[in-house]
Amino acid sequence: MWLVRTHHVEYLRPAFMGEEIAVLTWVSDFRRVQSLRKYRVIRVKDNAILVEGATDWVFVDAQTGRLRSIPENVMAAFEILPKEKETEILKYENK
């Protein structure tokens, strides 16, 4: 099972009542027992980044509570977005 090891959240700009926002999330990487997922909250009207964050997840054996290697089939269920692609791909487009 997955458990959160750490969270990092940076609030960059405020959002106000009535504003439409989009929440984007993606897997940034996998390591033997860890996976980094990143987040971005964007104001739709001007694509302003309001919040950026990251969560480091660890894979744990549900029976023992010990860290375990992430199974191949679990990793295969997620697409990794390389860091160098984040800026170009993650611009929210209001369609």
Give the domain extent around 25: 2-83
Cα separations in angstroms, 93 against 1, 26, 53, 71 = 34, 16, 20, 34
Q: Is residue 30 part of a domain?
A: yes
pTM value is 0.80
CATH of the domain at 34: 3.10.129.10
Using 50, 70 and 90 to split pLDDT, how confident is the model at 95? very low
Asked if the structure places residue 78 within a domain, the reply is: yes
Q: Is 94 among the domain residues? A: no
Number of domains comprising the chain: 1
pLDDT reported for residue 83: 80
Q: What is the pLDDT of residues 51-89, one digit of tens each?
A: 999 999 999 999 999 999 999 999 999 988 888 877 766
- Of residues 4 and 93, the one with the higher pLDDT is 4
pLDDT at position 7: 96
